[in-house]
Amino acid sequence: MRIMFVGDSMTIGSAGDHTWRYRMWQHLNATHGGPYKIVGPRRELYDPAADAPVSHSYGAPGFPERARAHLAGWGEGWLHMAPLIGDAVRAGRADTLLVSLGLIDLGFYTDAGQTAENVHRFVTEARAANPRIRAVLLPVIRNVRALGDPAFADECERFNELLGKAVAELGTPGSPLLLASRPEGWDIDRDTYDGTHPNAAGEHLLAGAFADAMHQAWGVGAPYSPAQD
């Protein structure tokens, strides 16, 4: 199994973060009985001081370089990742994608329908690189903006409906797609540090959403149980 994390700022993380990628790595080490590798063209965290993805200051020094691989970017969404995913899958020989995208698209670049079109493009490009690629897709999680902007909140819900339809339409036995459940009980005051980006509690919830989907559908690992840091 060769896993690639694909996401936006919630996935790349900021300097000093553990990231949910780290929580997922811990979980797989504890529960997955077979070999696996984390792949991707990037290793860095976003550095707010530099306003660029140049930091290697992870919150967990024990997170090894080989496990830090990803295809995630601060301010990047489906719009940005669809043109990149094919080459990334080929280079990393990825067979499993864990994807958390959409909030930045809806917030700045595309409406729900346009964002869904980029989901289709993303899947097409990934399959051109590996016809047997499989993926878990996480619905958009409302952030603090959605609390005060009803139109934005409606777009998030509309996109999540379209994402569910895309998963149902595009999934095949040879290249399955899973729609993960939104983290149960997600609370922006408790699970984020700024109304959007996950703190430690939120990181565990995000990792758990992917881990539980993979276990239930594909028998990977076990139900998620937060590791002790």
| Residues 96-153: tens digit of each pLDDT | 999 999 999 999 999 999 999 999 999 999 999 999 999 999 999 999 999 999 999 9
Determine the pLDDT at residue 226.
84
Determine the pLDDT at residue 229.
60
Determine the pLDDT at residue 181.
96
Q: Tell me the domain boundaries of the chain.
A: 2-218
Distance CA 163, CA 119 (A): 8
Which pTM does this prediction carry? 0.97
Query: What are the backbone dihedrals phi and psi of residue 214, each rounded to the nearest 5 degrees, phi first?
Result: -65, -40
47 by Cβ neighbours in 10 Å (0-12 / 13-18 / 19+) ranks as middle
CATH tag, 2-218: 3.40.50.1110
What's the Cα-to-Cα distance from 94 to each of 59, 101, 132, 157, 165, rounded to whole Å? 26, 18, 10, 30, 24
Neighbouring CB atoms inside 10 A of 163's CB total: 23
pLDDT tens for the chain, 229 residues long, are 999 999 999 999 999 999 999 999 999 999 998 999 999 999 999 999 999 999 999 999 999 999 999 999 999 999 999 999 999 999 999 999 999 999 999 999 999 999 999 999 999 999 999 999 999 999 999 999 999 999 999 999 999 999 999 999 999 999 999 999 999 889 999 999 999 999 999 999 999 999 999 999 999 999 999 875 6
200 by Cβ neighbours in 10 Å (0-12 / 13-18 / 19+) ranks as middle
What's the mean per-residue pLDDT of the chain? 96
